[in-house]
A and B are shown apart, each in its own frame.
Chain A
Amino acid sequence: MTTWGWVMMGVSWGVILVLAGFCVWRSATARTDELSAPFDIEAQIDREADGKA
């Protein structure tokens, strides 16, 4: 295994472990009535629409 091989393996594993770990942790701890995102999105889409107008 070359140094570049270790680097590619380490980076690939790292990216996946961080992403999967964050997602599983967030899914396990999120409250089912937590609905923050849609309002942000609505507001942002409205802002964009105003900007276009």
Chain B
Amino acid sequence: MDDNVPGKRESWVGRFGIILAVAGSAVGLGNFLRFPTVAAQNGGGAFMIPYFISFILLGLPVCWVEWAMGRYGGKFSHGSAPGIFDAISGHKPWAKYLGVLGIIGPLGILFYYVYVESWTLAYSIFAVTGKYKTISDPAQIRAFFGNYLGADGQYFNGIGPAYLFFLVTFVINFTVIYRGITKGIEAFCEWAMPLLFVAGAVLMVRVMMLGAPLADHPDWNIKNGLGFLWNPDFSCLGKPAVWLAAAGQLFFTLSVGIGVILTYASYVKPRRDIALSSTTASSMNEFAEVILGGSIVIPAAVCFFGMAGAREQVAGGTFGLGFQTMPLVFNRLPGGEVFGFYWFILLFVAGITSSISLLQPAVSFLEEELGLTRKQSVLSIGVVCFMAAHLVIFKGEVIDEMDLWFNQFGLPLFGLIEVLLFVFVFGVDRGWRELHEGGHIRIPTIFKYVVKYVTPVFLAGILVSWLATDGWRKLAMIKPDGSLLYNDSAIYWALATRGMYLALIAVTCLLVHRAWRRKAAAGAGAKGAGQ
């Protein structure tokens, strides 16, 4: 029997459907670019100690909280945070408004994520067509990247190619979402995720076989490349910033605190497993991050640029590593066109599986709470995203501002709200029962106490530490030296971005208010008709 008939709520069909979709949401550009950079900058192998502690005390517990609350909300046909929070709170009037962050948060990230994702598609085409093949100098590849993004240069005539690739990426995302949970997201992730793991494994094996590729630099070899990432600097463990970086990376990589898992879990049938599925999705993400992500970029950079060169590349940040270092690496490899294509397609697929998950909460909200059709919902969200993305395309500096509010600040804030609701409103015992309904594994009881006592304190600690050290300056647009974070007109665009987010939050609050009034009126009407 087809479960996805008109009028009936969709659900995941395959055994691995939800697992691959959530793993796909979690595995993104950050696994292959951000993790190795953050690890190398924060103590190398020693970084894994706070990283694993954060995984156990923060990552997994918040995942379980989101899966349990999400599926519970789905039983009442709620697929987005406002409805789910309303259901778990027993219809407390304030709870649904807290859920607004679970809709605007993912959209706020999507505004810039789709554009960054489109760069990977473009570079995969450039790799096979040999567009950057002749470049061997870091300054030239930087100029190539800048020229692609609209700066003057000899490689591209304006921003046209970047805009074209953005349009293609945008259409792919919205086509998948328009097809729905089963035929869109699940069907896409079922082939995309195995492809991603295979491409990652092929690249990892190729990098591991590099040995010492440059005869005149025998110490630029794979062993030292792995050492660059894994040799521990235990003195870093005494620095709070390292613990903060580990917890931040963990939160970022698992896709928790966005509202995406709440939405995906709401489409799990009531008595189907979520305890094992949530743990499987998280562990698949860790495999992609630590084993695949940790074995490609940094070791390859050391093999071709040496330790000092790799240190410079790491200091250049994640975009520099992905779009400047790696093309140069592939240019020096036999068959570099093919491996370059593999690398950027890997990033593109990882990006798409993440970005479609960022869209679904808003689409679910419009469909289920406001009664719009799928077409109307996707079109409405599409128009908003299309307009906001232009801010990023033509004023690239706003990416930092967008990332600040909904990634660095928004994720731990919304995660904390979720955990507090789970502990104090839904109830830990009730939540634990929900998590294990239909479960194929039993999560050790000690984690119930971790969720209740440790995770909220840990999360609050992260948020307060971030605000006290770096966060308040960024929110106030001030650099550590006291000067303004943005120069000239950039400050007006940064302020415009903040205004846009505030407006979106206000409009979504109004829509939530209207949706519940509409439901109340419909309920009263049905009661009246029954009498």
Indicate whether A35 sits within 8 Å of B438 (C-beta atoms), given known contacts A1-B226, A8-B48, A20-B287: yes
Is A53 in the interface zone, CB < 8 Å from B?
no
Is B445 in the interface zone, CB < 8 Å from A?
yes
Is the beta-carbon distance between A37 and B440 smaller than 8 angstroms? yes
CB 8 Å contact bits of A25-53 with B (1 = contact, 0 = none): 01110101011111011101100000000
Is the beta-carbon distance between A1 and B224 smaller than 8 angstroms? yes
Which residue from A13, A26, A38, A44 sits with its C-beta under 8 Å from B438?
Answer: A38
List, in ascending order, chain B residues with CB within 8 A of A40's CB. 436, 442
Is B275 in the interface zone, CB < 8 Å from A?
yes
Q: How long is the Cα–Cα vector from A4 to B275 in the complex, in angstroms?
A: 35
CB 8 Å contact bits of B262-301 with A (1 = contact, 0 = none): 0000000001110111011001101100110000000000
Within A1-28, the residues touching B (CB, 8 Å) are 1-2, 4-9, 11-13, 15-17, 19-20, 23-24, 26-28
Shortest CB–CB separation between residue B213 and chain A, in angstroms? 17
Within B380-432, the residues touching A (CB, 8 Å) are 429, 432
Q: How long is the Cα–Cα vector from A38 to B442 in the complex, in angstroms?
A: 8
Indicate whether A16 sits within 8 Å of B290 (C-beta atoms), given known contacts A5-B231, A28-B15: yes
CB 8 Å contact bits of B112-151 with A (1 = contact, 0 = none): 0000000000000000000000000000000000000000
Q: How long is the Cα–Cα vector from A41 to B441 in the complex, in angstroms?
A: 11
Is the beta-carbon distance between B287 and A16 smaller than 8 angstroms? yes
Q: Which residue of A lies closest to B273 (CB)?
A: A30
Indicate whether A30 sits within 8 Å of B440 (C-beta atoms), given known contacts A1-B224, A4-B232, A8-B45: yes
Is B433 in the interface zone, CB < 8 Å from A?
yes
Is the beta-carbon distance between A13 and B290 smaller than 8 angstroms? yes
List, in ascending order, chain B residues with CB within 8 A of A13's CB. 290-291
Shortest CB–CB separation between residue A41 and chain B, in angstroms? 4
Which residue from B224, B275, B284, B287 sits with its C-beta under 8 Å from A37?
Answer: B275
List, in ascending order, chain B residues with CB within 8 A of A27's CB. 15-16, 19, 276-277, 280, 440
Is B223 in the interface zone, CB < 8 Å from A?
yes
Shortest CB–CB separation between residue A40 and chain B, in angstroms? 6
Which residue from A8, A26, A38, A44 sits with its C-beta under 8 Å from B445?
Answer: A44
Is the beta-carbon distance between B433 and A16 smaller than 8 angstroms? no
Indicate whether A26 sits within 8 Å of B432 (C-beta atoms), given known contacts A5-B226, A8-B232, A20-B284: no
Q: How long is the Cα–Cα vector from A36 to B442 in the complex, in angstroms?
A: 9
List, in ascending order, chain A residues with CB within 8 A of B271's CB. 35
Indicate whether A12 sits within 8 Å of B52 (C-beta atoms), given known contacts A27-B19, A41-B436: yes
Q: Which residue of A lies closest to B271 (CB)?
A: A35
Is the beta-carbon distance between A38 and B433 smaller than 8 angstroms? yes
Q: How long is the Cα–Cα vector from A53 to B287 in the complex, in angstroms?
A: 45
Q: How long is the Cα–Cα vector from A15 to B223 in the complex, in angstroms?
A: 21
Is the beta-carbon distance between B283 and A37 smaller than 8 angstroms? no
- Specify which of A5, A32, A45 lies most central, judged by the most chain B CB atoms within 10 Å of its CB: A5
Q: How long is the Cα–Cα vector from A7 to B345 in the complex, in angstroms?
A: 32
Q: How long is the Cα–Cα vector from A16 to B244 in the complex, in angstroms?
A: 22
Is the beta-carbon distance between A26 and B440 smaller than 8 angstroms? yes
CB 8 Å contact bits of B354-389 with A (1 = contact, 0 = none): 000000000000000000000000000000000000
Q: How long is the Cα–Cα vector from A37 to B433 in the complex, in angstroms?
A: 9
Indicate whether A23 sits within 8 Å of B276 (C-beta atoms), given known contacts A37-B436, A37-B440, A41-B432: yes
Is the beta-carbon distance between A9 and B45 smaller than 8 angstroms? yes
Q: How long is the Cα–Cα vector from A47 to B284 in the complex, in angstroms?
A: 35
Shortest CB–CB separation between residue B170 and chain A, in angstroms? 33
Q: How long is the Cα–Cα vector from A43 to B35 in the complex, in angstroms?
A: 42
- Specify which of A7, A8, A13, A32 lies most central, judged by the most chain B CB atoms within 10 Å of its CB: A8
Shortest CB–CB separation between residue A46 and chain B, in angstroms? 10
Q: Which residue of B lies closest to A15 (CB)?
A: B52
List, in ascending order, chain A residues with CB within 8 A of B190's CB. none
Shortest CB–CB separation between residue B324 and chain A, in angstroms? 26
A-B contacts, 28 listed (Cβ < 8 Å): A1-B227, A2-B227, A2-B231, A7-B45, A8-B45, A8-B46, A8-B48, A12-B52, A13-B290, A15-B52, A16-B283, A16-B290, A17-B287, A20-B284, A20-B287, A23-B280, A23-B283, A23-B284, A24-B283, A27-B16, A27-B276, A27-B277, A34-B440, A36-B442, A37-B439, A37-B442, A41-B442, A42-B433
In the complex, besides A1-B231, A20-B280, 7 extra interface pairs with C-beta distance below 8 angstroms are: A16-B290, A23-B280, A23-B284, A26-B276, A40-B436, A41-B432, A45-B433
A-to-B contact residues, CB < 8 Å? 1-2, 4-9, 11-13, 15-17, 19-20, 23-24, 26-28, 30, 32, 34-38, 40-42, 44-45
